[in-house]
A and B are shown apart, each in its own frame.
Chain A
Amino acid sequence: MTAEPTTEKKPVEKETFLNVFLRNLWSSNSVTVTALSIFLAVVIGAVLIVVSDSAVLAKFSYFTARPGDALEASWALISAAYSDLLKGALGDPEAFSAWFSGTGRWQDALAPISETLTYAAPLVFTGLSVSLAFRGGLFNIGAQGQAVLGCIAAGLAGFTFGLPIVLNLVVALVAGVLGGVLWGFLPGLLKARTGAHEVITTIMLNYTAGLFLAWLVIQNGVQAPGRTDAISKAVASSAQLPSFGGVLRVHLGIVLAVIVTAGVAWLLNRSAFGFELRAVGANPHAAQTAGISVARTYTVLMAVAGGLAGLGGATQVLGTAYALTPSVAGNIGFDGLLVALLGRNRPWGTLMAALLFGALRAGGNRMQSYSGISLELVNVLQALIVIFIAAPALVKAIFRLRAARSAGFGVSPAKG
């Protein structure tokens, strides 16, 4: 999003600002394509909602005789579903009015936003991990494994050391980063030294990490005392990320996420290493000729990407789960891939995409609970959005968008 303002500065012919704005609005720039992709996904999602409801579908069998029935029922269902999605992600107007009139608690009104941020926090880190590696020309499928290692290291540090407050949290977070660094460094080194393809090695390390976690949580000294199922001891409260508690699960992780996003943006666009990695990503041979060590860049880049994903895992354990279980990392690594793609591999874009995915997750919970729409619909929406983003030509064709005027504004899912 760095080059945005430059395009609108000097129109070639004398045009009013409004005209330029409107024309650019309906051209295939990344903002428009993203918005339209989301719109298309929502429309297809609406069709799926109707198709999956047998009661409404039954009304369509006599559509020609009395179309009102089917349309009314479909509209009622779709609007209930999507309004629950919005209420679950942003807030329920009723809860807000209850808060303002004094009959409700402010916590209940803010709980949906808190949920959105809670789900978004780890995705920011894994998304940044993938997008940073992408910019250096590496496809980091291993964010999942790196996040799992981050979970393990942060969790172990969280209940082992028993350090004083603040210090304990810092140590646990650093441990999480180091765990991820290790799991990113290995494929980076293999790529640099032997040319082993990072896609293959990171996928394999994902399995290794997952199975290692499943084994680890049932070992003596790790498993929670008095429990026979697979759950570790709880992280000490001094090592947990500070949170409001109660209904508001949101924790310091989201603040950390914004800071780290700024850090990654700086690293990528302002630092010498960022320049090197972009050069290597654009053309490794040219970079080599220009005197940049490609091997060193790959190794360091994968280690940094791993560290970011590890931090994502650490926030999951220290912020929401508080104990290790075989599936504590959930799907944050693979969701990170989608988030990075949706964010067009730019740090701030990734942050926005993670917030959108967090909102879908949080809203999906309410949609499932209140209107009985399967949570899978959220997965479908996420997948559809990404498919449309990945196929901008399709969106362009459907809406007959003009070609973007400048490269800076264009749709450019990074090469991979």
Chain B
Amino acid sequence: MRPVRGKRIVAILAAGGLTLAAAACGNAPEETPSANGSASAAAAYKACMVTDTGGIDDKSFNAAAWAGLQAAKTEASNVDPKYVSSSSEADYEPGLRSFVTQKCNFILAVGGLMGGATEKVAKESTGSQFGIVDSASTGSNVYPMQFATHQAAFLAGYLAAGYSKSGKVGTYGGMKIGPVTIFMDGFADGVAYFNQKKGKTVQVLGWDKAKQNGTFADSFIDQNKGKTITQTLVSQGADVILPVAGGTGLGTAQVAKDSAGKVSVIWVDQDGCKSAAQYCDVFLSTVVKNVEEAVKEAVVKGAKGETLSPTPGYVGTLENNGVSLAPFNQFDSKVDATLKTELDQLKKDIIAGTVKVESASAPK
């Protein structure tokens, strides 16, 4: 038995080897002396990022922050971006520390849950510059980047109420945490403002701002859960839905697609027609939270040698375009012109402060 098996293994190896050899018959490239590259590397600005447990491809703030680092590289060529992803919360500290030992010029932590670890490491390594997304500042060498998302969500609420034909709009969240409920707060307020202005009674399903309670999927990835929740909202009469749940929201987009135009979706974080292009025809608009731009600006500033002040850090608002309402894309012709002008006016009013938007989760 044994010798036969041995021969068989040899045969398989030989066959595999031949296939590989056939694939490996290409010509060697000419030896080119690498002259370029050494000049620009003189003052490299190492921008290093630690993701939270969502990982680098979470289609949400980790991905956006990484895109920001790469965008910074195109703007300031001495930026040298790299990242590590965390597989558990115990990885935050070692991740940050190993970038301190590697002498990174800018160390970016993504997500409020990393606040504690960032504070601790930043205190120990006063010589390094840190940055953190979605968290208040935690030290003199930590540059916080926060977002007044409720301002843009307010516009989305007004838009949804104005666009809805059934007089009911819906929303749900991925998890009951501040960065999610801030969208829902703004959305509900926007609808309420529309009602007050127009004397209508458009209802919001899925979120009660006063009680701070509503519908949650308890997942940022489970599309089926998103489908089920959306079907419930639709059967209750909602025809515009705002899912604040990352990948779970794709289930909502699927339901909208199946409804053949009856239901439309307002997407979050990054323009839906770019981040989930296959569903572009159901996205009324997007509440954009421009993590990418904020990170890019911070890194470019740092690379130019400017100081990054910890207070107030960066707060994305409608005014500085850190948060915004994305273009209507394929819905451009369906949203009527008066609603568009009202939205433009509302945006100006919010920026001017004549319309107040508040949320318990707003950055302070």
Q: Which A residues are within 8 Å of any B CB, using their own CB? A: 60-66, 69, 108, 111, 115, 118-119, 211, 214, 218, 227-231, 234, 246-247, 249, 316, 320-323, 325-328, 330-331, 362, 365-366, 368-370, 372, 374-375, 379
Residues in chain A near residue B25, CB distance under 8 A: 62, 64-65
Contact A369 B85 (CB under 8 A): no
Residues in chain A near residue B222, CB distance under 8 A: none
Q: Which of B20, B21, B89, B112 has the most CB of A within 10 A?
A: B89
Out of B85, B89, B94, which one reaches A115, CB within 8 Å? B94
Contact A119 B218 (CB under 8 A): no
Q: Given A63-B24, A229-B177, A369-B84, list of 14 further CB < 8 A pairs?
A: A60-B24, A62-B25, A62-B26, A65-B25, A65-B26, A118-B90, A228-B360, A230-B175, A231-B116, A247-B97, A249-B94, A331-B88, A370-B102, A375-B91
Contact B90 A316 (CB under 8 A): yes
- Residues of B100-114 at the interface with A, using a CB-CB cut-off of 8 Å, are 101-102, 112-113
Asked if B183 is at the interface of the complex by the 8 Å CB criterion, the answer is no
Asked if B12 is at the interface of the complex by the 8 Å CB criterion, the answer is no
Asked if B53 is at the interface of the complex by the 8 Å CB criterion, the answer is yes
Contact A375 B102 (CB under 8 A): no
Contact B95 A365 (CB under 8 A): yes
Shortest Cβ distance from residue B56 to the other chain A in the assembled complex, whole angstroms = 9
Contact B90 A64 (CB under 8 A): no
Residues in chain B near residue A115, CB distance under 8 A: 94
Out of A108, A322, A365, which one reaches B84, CB within 8 Å? A365
Asked if B286 is at the interface of the complex by the 8 Å CB criterion, the answer is no
Contact B178 A62 (CB under 8 A): no
Asked if B82 is at the interface of the complex by the 8 Å CB criterion, the answer is yes
Asked if B176 is at the interface of the complex by the 8 Å CB criterion, the answer is yes
Contact A375 B181 (CB under 8 A): no
Closest to B48 in A: A369
Contact A61 B98 (CB under 8 A): no
Shortest Cβ distance from residue B127 to the other chain A in the assembled complex, whole angstroms = 14
Given contacts A63-B24, A231-B113, A365-B98, contact A330 B178 (CB under 8 A): no
Contact A61 B89 (CB under 8 A): no
Given contacts A65-B26, A65-B28, contact A328 B87 (CB under 8 A): no
Contact A62 B84 (CB under 8 A): no
Contact B90 A330 (CB under 8 A): yes
Q: How far is the CA of A246 from the CA of B97 in the complex (A)?
A: 10
Residues in chain A near residue B53, CB distance under 8 A: 327
Q: How far is the CA of A159 from the CA of B87 in the complex (A)?
A: 26
Residues in chain A near residue B175, CB distance under 8 A: 214, 230, 326
Shortest Cβ distance from residue A86 to the other chain B in the assembled complex, whole angstroms = 15
Closest to B6 in A: A400
Contact B93 A249 (CB under 8 A): yes
Contact A230 B26 (CB under 8 A): no
Q: How far is the CA of A374 from the CA of B95 in the complex (A)?
A: 13
Residues in chain A near residue B89, CB distance under 8 A: 321, 325, 327-328, 330
Q: How far is the CA of A366 from the CA of B102 in the complex (A)?
A: 10
Out of A69, A246, A323, A375, which one reaches B116, CB within 8 Å? A323
Residues in chain B near residue A69, CB distance under 8 A: 28
7 A–B contacts from the bound complex (CB under 8 Å):
A61-B24, A64-B25, A111-B97, A227-B178, A230-B176, A321-B89, A365-B84
Q: How far is the CA of A323 from the CA of B92 in the complex (A)?
A: 14
Q: Which of B24, B90, B176, B182 has the most CB of A within 10 A?
A: B90
Contact B85 A62 (CB under 8 A): no
Shortest Cβ distance from residue A143 to the other chain B in the assembled complex, whole angstroms = 16
Contact A64 B113 (CB under 8 A): no
Shortest Cβ distance from residue B168 to the other chain A in the assembled complex, whole angstroms = 27
Residues in chain A near residue B94, CB distance under 8 A: 115, 249, 362, 365
Q: How far is the CA of A305 from the CA of B112 in the complex (A)?
A: 35
Given contacts A119-B90, A229-B178, A375-B87, contact A369 B99 (CB under 8 A): yes
Q: How far is the CA of A325 from the CA of B25 in the complex (A)?
A: 54
Closest to B23 in A: A61
Closest to B359 in A: A228
Contact A214 B90 (CB under 8 A): no
Contact B116 A62 (CB under 8 A): no
Contact A229 B113 (CB under 8 A): yes
Residues in chain B near residue A325, CB distance under 8 A: 89, 113
Asked if B29 is at the interface of the complex by the 8 Å CB criterion, the answer is yes
Q: How far is the CA of A65 from the CA of B94 in the complex (A)?
A: 43
